[in-house]
Amino acid sequence: MSPRHSSLSGCASWITSLSLSGAPNMSNENKSASEKSHDATPQKLQRSREKGDVPYSTEVTAAATYAGFFVALAFSFSWSGSKVLATLSTFLGRAEELGFALLSPYGPQFMSEIAFELIFAMSPFIAAVMSTALISIYGQRAMTFAPTKLKPKFSRISIVDNAKKKFGADGISEFAKSAAKIIAIFIVLYVAFRDRFAELPLLSSYHATAIGSILFRETIFFVGLITAVAALIAAIDLPWRLYQHNNKLKMTYQEVKEENKETEGDPAMKSVRRQRAEEMATNRMMSDVPTANVVIVNPTHFAVALKWKDDRKSAPICVAKGVDEIAARIRETASVSGVPIKSDPPTARSIYSVVELGEEIRREHYAAVAAALHYAETLRKRKRGAQ
């Protein structure tokens, strides 16, 4: 085999190996670019919230309502119970008389009064349950108003879409979670009350007051146990809901890039806007040059325009400064406007470096600037005398 043929075959094998080894890398790069591995940006989270798509755990709300009911039961049971018993005993004790009253024209009013008394008696429970439910929703930041949710959608009544939700992966997981929750509650209640069932036949021999006390104690224990189990389930469900929501809103690298471009603007457009802003600032600065008392220059590179206020109690301020092209424009504007120009390279460079627009000159500039102002005033007097 000739050396030339050997070198050509070696080069071909090298190119082939590069292409083969590069193919997986390109594939991996494309795959990584299309993977949703980036957390959602604040803008996407806000858009999701505006659509009503927020992380929300119904288990937290359920646990909160159980807790509210438990608190109301512990502190208001005697008051509410006495009110309910008084209302019902009045109704049952005068059943025949009240029966005729219900059939009279005043019957609806009479029933509404009884209903109001029962609702008033149960008001601590209603208030506790509603307030804790609202607090749990507000605490999860799930209280949103999304007009898009009010728009009619065919998918909400579509049999096919609803079947996919019910029997899809999400539907099956929700069913499994609900079944596991019911089984867990049943097991906990059975273990807790298994030894108490033997006491039930003995209640018939107890006094009514003792029976009421026992039933109240067992009810408190039952509701407290349900609340504890619900709180445990909520503690597991809430992080899972947050993880699901964040995972659903994850973005690809390209999506993050586009989001940043929309938020911060295209770099090219940002450069154009920055250039326009600089031009506007320069034009405003140039409009102040005719008001200056003197322009101190380094003949070709630096120029600073100084204005001395009429009260003469403060130091001169810098109204314009620039280098190269801007310095040339300052000199040109000063010449057209009749502002005297004094050549003093060290002072021009120093003022340009340390004094910002609108600031007074430093103390070390006083002598040189005083000389420049005297020079400018002398030129003005000569010009007036010549006229």
pLDDT digits (tens, 9 = 90+) for 145-168: 656 655 666 555 666 666 666 666
Residue extent(s) of CATH 3.40.1690.10 domains in the chain: 284-386
Q: According to the model, what pLDDT value does residue 64 have?
A: 93
Which backbone phi and psi does 230 adopt, to 5 degrees?
A: -65, -40
Supply the pLDDT for residue 386: 66
Fold of 284-386: name from scop (3.40.1690)
Judge whether 206 and 214 are in contact, CB under 8 Å.
yes
Q: How far is CA 323 from CA 307, 328, 334, 348, in A?
A: 19, 8, 15, 10
Residue 2, pLDDT score: 47
The Cα–Cα gap between 55 and 245 comes to 6
Q: How many CB atoms lie within 10 A of CB 235?
A: 13
Q: What percent of the chain has pLDDT over 90?
A: 9
Residues in the chain with pLDDT values less than 70: 1-34, 91-104, 106-107, 110, 143-168, 198, 200-201, 203-204, 206-209, 211-212, 262-269, 310-312, 386-387
Q: In one letter, which amino acid is 201?
A: P
333: nearest Cα among 370, 301, 293, 288: 288
Sort strands 294-298 and 302-307 into parallel, antiparallel or unpaired: antiparallel
The 3-state secondary structure of the chain reads CCHHHHHHHHHHHHHHHHHHHHHHHHHHHHHHHHCCCECCCHHHHHHHHHCCCCCCCHHHHHHHHHHHHHHHHHHHHHHHHHHHHHHHHHHHHCHHHHHHHHHCCCHHHHHHHHHHHHHHHCHHHHHHHHHHHHHHHHHCCCCCCCHHHHCCCHHHCCHHHHHHHHHCHHHHHHHHHHHHHHHHHHHHHHHHHCCCHHHHHHHHHCCHHHHHHHHHHHHHHHHHHHHHHHHHHHHHHHHHHHHHHHHHCCECHHHHHHHHHHHHCCHHHHHHHHHHHHHHHHHHHHHHHHHCCEEEEECCCEEEEEECCCCCCCCCEEEEEEECHHHHHHHHHHHHHCCCEEECHHHHHHHHHHCCCCCECCHHHHHHHHHHHHHHHHHHHHHHHHC
Q: Going by C-beta distance under 8 Å and a sequence separation of 6 or more, which residues neighbour residue 229? A: 184, 185, 188
Neighbours of 103 (CB within 10 A): 9
Q: What spatial distance separates the first Cα and last Cα of the chain, rounded to whole Å?
A: 100
Length of the chain: 387
For position 263, what pLDDT does the model report? 64
Tell me, what's the pLDDT at 7? 42
